[in-house]
Structure 1
Amino acid sequence: MSSDSNEVVTGRLGTFSGVFTPSVLTILGIILFLRLGYVVGAAGLGKALIIIAVANLISVLTSFSLAAVSTNMKVGGGGDYYLISRTLGIEFGGAIGIVLFIAQSVSIAFYCIGFGEALTAILGLNGHVTVQLIAGTALLFLFMLAWIGADLATKFQYVVMVFLILALLSFYIGGLRQWNTGLLMENWVAGEGTASFWILFALFFPAVTGFTQGVSMSGDLKDPGKSLPTGTFAAVFISILVYFSVAVVFAASTPLQTLAGDYGAMQQISMYGWLINAGVIAATLSSAMASFLGAPRILKSLASDKIFPILNPFAKGYGPSDNPRRAVLLSFGIAVFTVFMGQLDLIAGVVSMFFLISYGLLNYATYFEASAETPSFRPRFKWYNKKISLVGALICLGVMLAIDFKTGIAAVAILFAIFQYLKRVSGPARWADSRRSYHLKLVRDNLLGAQKVHAHARDWRPYLLVLSNDEEQMKQLLDFSSLVEGKSGITTAVRILQARGYRAVKLKAEAEKDLARIISEKESSAFSLVLSSEYAANGLAVLCQSFGLGPVKANTVLLSWNEPYAKNDDPVQFHNYRELIRPAIQSGCNIILWDQKDLPESDESIGKDKTIDVWWQDDDTSRLMLLLAYLITRDDHWEDAKIRLLACYLDRDNEQIMQMLSDTLDEFRIQAEPKIVLGVNEKVFFDISAETDLVFLPVSLKKDDALMFGDLPADQLLPGLKTVAMVMAVQKIELDSSPEEGRAGELAHLFDELKHAEKRVDAAKKIAQQAARSATDFIKDADDMQFNDPDLLTHIKEKLALQEKSEEANKKVLKEQVKLMEVSQRAKDEGLAVDNEAP
């Protein structure tokens, strides 16, 4: 049975057979039997335990991420590739899929070479060629098992499990018999001249990479969401206990020099040495078998998604289990090539880098999914926090760079190159990933952040509603809107249908599809919106007032002057564009009427030796036109266009006025050529702008709906011009406002006034309290005087003066408190937080 798409299928394997067994057998493999003793001997027990702890920390953190993401979706075939691609998207998925497939295929050779080394030592043979021949023979045997399918390979794993358990028991018994606590303490630290920490880490790290073998078999599991976290955590927990305990037994039973110089030290410690040999053979073959099952399934899943056309033939499966035989054959070829390259330790470093990349991306993908905070992120695995995944991703990156900085950078560069390639050539997304949810989360956070900051003239940018019901006109308007956006605005393409009832629903659905098609064909960044209303003018009025979200609101309406009128019997289109101008203006939106006759096509010549005329009247409309002209020059094709500012509101032409115009442009920070035009009439107008590539014309709307440029009707001017944008500004446009101006400055001034009023009240209270204390003390002294005391009269006068001063101070307090209450109320009315109620 073949599969052309990466569907979520139901397999036949359970947690123990499909996840725990292949994972634990791969983890407890060649590194355990042939390299762990060397790591302990070269590093000392203390550093060896740190190496084991750091390596397993990565596997534990990644297991948490795996448990979260695998219980949040139905997991299809492809394991890590499937989870990453369905979270980060097709580009990251395709890049990591290639890396994972190569890593797994190279791992097959890695384990087969280990098998060759072990069997060569057991048989007493010598020579690198002998190792390669034995590895090649084992590779051929495993290839036949993988070709047949997963069922036979799974049964083979149970036999391996028995030998593995017997080998470990034999080692533990032998090690406990030789236990020496003094030797254990002595072996805590290795001597000088040993290998560096990160070289030994790179050598050991492939030992923990097997915990994702069960993930690679995800397509063959009965219940991936349950089996993957349970089986993976169980395998990781068991392997941690084994590696730590074996390292301690090594250090307590054998000197470091012996461990560092003899890869077969485990056999010497074990009670039955032949069981270690059997364990080595079983472990290496089972690990290679697990990789032989995982790698082809990753490639098949990648090919089924049709990301790389060259890989499409590998999507085909055979038999009831959909066995990916073509992918098995390619994995076999890569493994054969790697085997005959030789050198186990060199391959170990390469494999480590590949797997670190995949684990780092798996952690990041889970963090990315959780950070989007989409309501659909509801993993059944409850013991998860997104910070765990972030820490896991950072540790993977740090370890990559620490092992080999240049190789790590090169690996990241290769991944990035594949990502960029897929970003350019990949077609439409074939599945839903988390990127859209993440962007929506950013939209929410940024809108809330923008809402907390007061609007300022410096923040103004064009939020355009582009209205047209004609396809060709809409295309032209989208071309123009993409220019005036200036890489900072937002365009929404709008269709207004005059319809109601059930017919309106049908027409709206058809119009939405048609509008989406037009936007796609133009490769525009515009959004689309279709509005149905019985009266087009009413619909636009409501749209202009309500369109937007939070601080992002429509501020400009773009219409086509040449919009064809609908027939009177056509209920869908509005009959006159003038119906829409007044409602838009009354709703507070600026108006741009676009009259295009011959706008140059988008090619590299656009903007070279081009001219933009802005007819300047020194008002808000003029400032809006100048700003739009500047935004057009931000486009790559118009960056060399020259802007001419044609001042037509002046009654004289002299150096002082020209200097004033130049100074104004300097304040606006816009490069333009000022020119004074006196006595504007049709002849003067055409002489200046008839050959101009784009003309911005300020117009006003009269009571009879006539558009006028001063005293000249726009209808008379347009036929003699190439391309015209007629503009009417309703909003206040400021091009030279300072940061201190505007709402923020006003509130700051009010805040300062409030604080000053509070200080005045406090100062008045202090004066009143001091006056009251002085009067009270004086009265006490006066009461002690005799009636016939000659100073009594003087004291009485002073007492009255002090009482009067105290009363004036109290009146001052009341007056300042009233002012404070007034300022506090103004602050509250303006939305400024007031800490305390004014007295």
Structure 2
Amino acid sequence: MSAVATNGVPKSGGAYSIIKSSLGIQFGGVTGLLLFTANIFGCSMYILGAVEVLRTSYAGIEDINERLLGTIILLILTIIVLIGISYIARFAVLFLAGVFLALLSIWFGVIYTAVGNDNKSNIGVTGFSAGNLRNNFGPRYCDGWNFASLLGLFFPSCTDPLAGSNLSGDLRDPQAAIPIGTISAVLLSMVIFTIQVVLVAGASGRRGHCGSDDGLRGDTGGAFVIAIGWPLPFLVELGILVSTLGAGLQSLAGAPRLLSALAVDRIFPILDIFAPPKTTHVNRDEAEPRRAVILCAFLTCCCVMMNDLDMVAPFITLFFLTCYAIINGAAAFMAYEKAPNFRPTFRFFEWRVSIIGALLCIFIMFTIAPLYATAVLALSAALYKYVETQPAAANITATYDTELAQLVPHCTDEGKSKKKFWSRTQKQPSLPGEADWRASVRFRQARKAMLSLTEGDLQFKYWRPFVLYLCKLDDINATYQPQGGMLNLIQQLTKGGHGIALVSGVLLNQNTISKELAQFANECRFRLAHTLRQRKIEGFADVIISSSIIEGNRLLIQSKGMGVFRPNAVALGWPSTCGNSNTRDDPSGFCQLIEDASTFGKTVLVCKGTTEFPDDTQAFDRDSRIDIWWIYDLFPANGLLLLIPFLLQKNKTWKKSKLRLVVVSENAEEDDELNETVRGMLKAGGVIADLLLLHVAISDAPRFAHRRSGRVTETKQPNTVRFADQVTSIDESPPDDKNSADEDNINDEIISVTSLPSPMLRQDSRVQSNLDWDEYAQPSKLVNLVSDNSTTAELVVMPLPHRVPGQTARNWMTSVDTLIADLRRVIFVKETGEENIQFFN
């Protein structure tokens, strides 16, 4: 407790505030509510103890009803608490003096009977001797009692050391007072209890048998310690009375402050009414939680009506032991994790001792009452989950109340001179986020995993969707602009493949970046992250500032990730309109973005459609279909076109949808061989899909002609220049719109395609590049083929059409729009040729 209390400056709320500051609001809320309940039960137990003393020690009072007498005592204590904390401290001194006098009277009585002639053998007092110690050393329980039941009854007398921390908000220097007070109280209580047990056991005879009148209780009808008191037994009676009243007063003063602190943090909305009034100046009397005091008094009165001390005590024991276990476990965990925010100034702290203390608390709980202990732990777990789900808990960090105060300079005019002074103001986090006790564990695990990752871990059969979604932000307030339900698609794809999504946007700014702009970008990031949480997307959000969309997106593609843990795919939404230069819908910028992503080794996913991608509330029936198009290429992107629908089918939205593979080849001469090859590939890959074979001539699908070849040979006239490069290099460096005037120089170029040995690729073909680009926007045989076969499909996955050299960006986008004009949803895939996916076993 001393270590946790010195980790920052404890605020009002006692152990709740201390645990919340060190370990987070979840455990803080559980501890606070359990301590509040324990204090309520404890106050009622102490009041019932005072009632028993009054009824057995003072004549005439035994005729008063016990419940009525307890209510009167509770009313007196409530009035003292309502007056203020200063009066509680004054009464505490009087109660301490009474207890001290009672102890001295008992000790002097033992000495007096040992050396004097006042023999009280009739009540069991025979004088101090070693024989009595030996006879009384072993146990002898009556029927129905054992060590565990007596421990549960006795343990509440050891709970007062925590009373000081419950008043942490009223202490002048809680960091210094709580460790000294707690340790002093524990040591002093242990010494006093030990002396008391030894003296009483050595001065009294052994009880004959249960229920007899000899031994510890005699014909006086009073307690043995009262009878042994000297010179005035009355002092012992008074000491026992003020001890119970003082403990009850401390419990009744601490419980409202715990309740008030819980109400301030709004983790239990039903308690909001008990939050203390806000004061503009420091006045402890005005800040007294009087409504909380009234509630605590009412609950205590209900417990007093039970009128059974033995029934109340075990519950107090279990609640306090649970709190002690949490406090010990919290300190040990933070020290073991070497958390930077755990910096206790208490030097005599060892986390192994705290572990032993926590285990000992749990052991004692199950020793006293296994069934009730299980119930209390289950209640604690339920409270933890409840606090974790509260919206207010997400805005309280683990160090929210222990932030260092800032010194703010002020100037005052006093006479003719100006004096400068400094005032303390509490530093508040600008954008508090959710944090709990697992933060340090998560960081350590993430650090270890990131450092151990290698290039090979993200390749081969371990490929998972790590998608960077370059989203569109509003130009005015930088809010997320929906693009055909793409967030739904990202959520379903990453969840099905246990991947990660990075949703990032660009905030345009042509001027110097100011602090206000950076703060605005940070707020936009939080809004975007909130959108991701609402859509249940497992990933992260980010917003960067850039002078242009192209440069901002290029920066995101290059910089996102850490080490080898970087996105392997870039997702884009198809522009709704073709805008001007440096706008989000600029055709040249969009095409350049696709090329940049490919250049940096990212698979590009471009999504478009006339219908939005559905969210998890929708589910397609068994008649729905997902079409995968393979055009002039057997197994494009190393199986990624098959893997994407497979991952989507893990979501309930697409679970019942059927897969259909549409393979487009040049001719039907070798359909049998092609059918056998493709079905064997599907079987080896574990994919259940229907197969449809279609045929289109290369001249009717020029945008996919490059997929038919592994190498391209370009011939220029009149000077013949030949070069060979990989297929993917055809997509590199397409001309911008500003170079469209040079298209006439390209009209004489001829692209000859040399085929590879494949059932789909057998014959050579020549594709003329002197094409009329306007014809690309007109319906072709492939356009009609796609429209006739996939119009009814809920989703179509196909390779991204190639942009032929010399074709303008605007014309290319128009031709793609024409190709898929009748389709509901389309995912275009542009592979890099480096996708390492073990699709076949």
Q: TM-score of the superposition, structure 2-length normalised?
A: 0.73
Q: How many angstroms apart in 2 are the aligned matches of 1:734 and 1:649?
A: 24
Tell me, what secondary structure is at the counterpart of 1:548? coil
| Partner residue, 2:138 | 189
Q: Is the Cα contact below 8 Å between 2:472 and 2:481 reproduced in 1?
A: no
Structure-2 residue corresponding to 1:627: 643
2:375 is the alignment partner of 1:410 = yes
* 2:27/2:384 contact within 8 Å kept: yes
**Is the contact made by 1:136 and 1:339 (CA closer than 8 Å) also made in structure 2?**
yes
Matches within 5 A, 1:314-353: 314-317=274-277, 320-321=284-285, 322-353=287-318
- Do 1:477 and 1:560's aligned partners in 2 also have CA atoms closer than 8 Å? yes
Aligned residue in 2 for 1:448: 448
Secondary structure of the 2:307 match is: coil
Pick the structure with more strand per residue.
Answer: 2
Distance 1:436 1:493, change over 3 A: farther
Contact 2:609–2:823 under 8 Å retained in 1: no
Is residue 612–residue 694 contact of structure 1 (8 Å, CA) maintained in 2? yes
Helix, strand or coil for the counterpart of 2:9? coil
- Residues 550 and 251 (structure 1 numbering): CA distance in 2 closer, same or farther, change over 3 Å? farther
Query: Quick one: distance in 2 between partners of 1:649 and 1:397?
Result: 72
1:119 Cα shift? 1.3
The whole-number CA distance in structure 1 between the counterparts of 2:823 and 2:12 is 63
1:573-584 maps to which residues of 2 (within 5 A)? 576-584=589-597
User: Within 2, Cα distance between the matches of 1:373 and 1:737?
Assistant: 46
Counterpart CA distance in 2 for 1:535 and 1:301 is 49
Q: 1:259 to 1:698 in 2, by over 3 A?
A: farther
Aligned position for 1:400: 365
* Residue 699 (1) aligns with residue 800 (2): yes
Give me the whole-angstrom Cα distance separating, in 2, the residues matched to 1:679 and 1:156. 98
Separation in structure 2 between the aligned mates of residue 387 and residue 613 of structure 1, nearest angstrom: 61
- 8 Å contact from structure 2 (residues 509, 545) kept in 1: yes
Bigger shift: residues 77-86 or 580-589? 77-86
The 3 A distance-change label for structure 1 pair 362 and 577 is: same
In structure 2, the residue corresponding to 1:720 is in which secondary structure? coil
**1:248-263 to 2 correspondences below 5 Å:** 248-257=198-207
Amino acid corresponding to residue 212 of structure 1 in structure 2: L
Offset at 1:296?
0.8
Q: How does 1:765-804 map to 2 (within 5 A)?
A: none
The verdict on how the C-alpha distance between 1:509 and 1:169 changes in structure 2, with shifts beyond 3 A counting, is: closer
Q: Which of 492, 504, 512 is the matching residue for 1:502?
A: 512
Unaligned runs of 5+ in 1: 1-65, 739-839
Matched, 1:492 2:502: yes
> After superposition, what is the alpha-carbon deviation per residue over 1:606-644, rounded to whole angstroms, capped at 9, x for unaligned?
244443223345536252232222222333443333333
Please, which of 237, 243, 247 is the counterpart of residue 283 of structure 1? 243
Q: 1:440 and 1:285, CA in 2 relative to 1: closer, same or farther beyond 3 A?
A: closer
Does residue 209 (structure 1) correspond to residue 159 (structure 2)? The answer is yes
For the 8 Å contact 1:203–1:349, the answer to whether it is kept is: yes
Query: Is 1:79 aligned with 2:14?
Result: yes
CA displacement at 1:303 relative to structure 2: 1.4
Q: Deviation per CA, 1:58-117, whole angstroms, max 9, x where unpaired?
A: xxxxxxxx2222211221111111123334444443343333222212211110000011
For 1:557, which of 559, 570, 585 is the aligned residue?
Answer: 570
Percent identity at matched positions? Answer: 26
Alignment of structure 1 residues 433-444 onto 2, 5 Å: 433=398, 435=435, 438-439=438-439, 441-444=441-444
**TM-score of the pair, normalised by structure 1:** 0.73
Q: Aligned letter for 1:580?
A: L
Indicate conservation of the 8 Å contact 2:265/2:392, yes or no. Answer: no
Q: Is 1:717 the equivalent of 2:815?
A: no
1:355 and 2:305 matched: no
Relative contact order higher in (CA < 8 Å, ≥ 6 apart): 1
Residues in 1 aligned to 2:93 and 2:484: alpha-carbon distance in whole angstroms? 66
Match of 2:716 in 1: none
1:338 Cα deviation after fit: 0.7
1:68 aligns with 2:84: no
- Give the CA deviation at 1:436: 5.7
Counterpart CA distance in 2 for 1:126 and 1:656 is 107
Match of 1:119 in 2: 54
Change beyond 3 A, Cα 1:687–1:512: farther
C-alpha separation in 1, matches of 2:671 and 2:18: 72
Q: C-alpha distance in 2, partners of 1:495/1:207?
A: 61
8 A contact 1:508–1:530 mirrored in 2: no
Q: What is the DSSP-based 3-state SS (H/G/I as helix, E as strand, rest coil) of the residue aligned with 1:117?
A: helix
Paired residues of 1:707 and 1:713 also in contact (CA < 8 A): no
Alignment size in residue pairs: 670
Structure-2 separation of matches of 1:722 and 1:453: 40
CA distance in 2: counterparts of 1:625 and 1:121, whole angstroms = 88
Amino acid at match of 1:382: R
Offset of residue 173 of structure 1: 2.8
Contact 1:623-1:733 at 8 Å conserved across structures: no
Q: How big is each residue's C-alpha offset from its partner over 1:788-814, in whole Å with a ceiling of 9 and x where there is no partner? A: xxxxxxxxxxxxxxxxxxxxxxxxxxx
Q: For residues 191 and 428 of structure 1, what CA distance do their matches in structure 2 show?
A: 51
| Contact kept in structure 2, 1:592 and 1:727, CA below 8 Å | yes
Partner of 1:300: 260
Match for residue 642 of structure 1 among 626, 647, 658: 658
Q: CA deviation at 1:442?
A: 2.0
Q: Find 2:36's aligned residue among 101, 104, 117.
A: 101
Question: How big is the shift at 1:517?
Answer: 2.1
Q: Does structure 1 residue 148 correspond to structure 2 residue 83?
A: yes
Q: 1:191 to 1:102 in 2, by over 3 A?
A: closer
Structure 2 Cα separation of the partners of residues 146 and 188 of structure 1: 42
Letter of the aligned partner of 2:512 in structure 1?
A: Y
CA 136–436 in structure 1, closer or farther in 2 if over 3 Å, else same: closer
**Larger proportion of helix:** 1
- 1:647 CA drift (Å): 4.1
| Alpha-carbon contact 2:485-2:613 (below 8 Å) kept | no
Aligned to 1:834: none
3-state secondary structure, aligned to 1:592? strand
Q: Deviations over 1:305-327 (max 9, x none)?
A: 22333322211359643111111
CA distance in 1, matches of 2:180, 2:587: 63
Structure 1 letter corresponding to 2:503: A
Counterpart in the other structure of 2:224: 265
For each residue in 1:730-770, what CA deviation from the matched residue of structure 2 results, as whole angstroms up to 9, or x when unmatched? 332323477xxxxxxxxxxxxxxxxxxxxxxxxxxxxxxxx
Deviation of 1:192 (Å): 6.6
Match of 1:466 among 464, 469, 474: 469
Q: Shift of the alpha carbon at 1:331? A: 0.8
Q: Return 335-344 or 610-619, whichever deviates more.
A: 610-619
Contact kept in structure 2, 1:171 and 1:269, CA below 8 Å: yes
Is the 1:567–1:575 Cα contact (8 Å) retained in structure 2? no
SS of match in other structure, 2:344 = coil
Give the C-alpha shift of residue 645 in structure 1: 3.5
Q: Aligned match of 1:590 in 591, 594, 603?
A: 603
Change (3 A) 1:498 1:618: farther
Q: Deviations over 1:699-739 (max 9, x none)?
A: 2544537899x9x964332211101111123332323477x
- Are the counterparts in 2 of residues 81 and 96 from structure 1 also a CA contact under 8 Å? yes
**1:332 CA displacement:** 0.8
Residue from 599, 614, 620 that aligns with 2:628: 614
Shift of 1:686: 2.4
Secondary structure at 1:527 match in 2: strand
2:671 and 2:693 in contact (8 A); partners too: no
Q: Is the 8 A contact 2:23 2:436 kept in 1?
A: no
- Partner Cα distance (1:104, 1:406) in 2: 22
Residue segments in structure 2 that go unaligned for 5+ positions in a row: 115-126, 208-213, 400-434, 474-479, 697-781
Per the alignment, residue 557 of structure 2 pairs with 544
Q: Describe the SS at the equivalent of 1:677.
A: strand
User: Aligned in 2, Cα 1:77/1:652: closer, same or farther, shift over 3 Å?
Assistant: farther
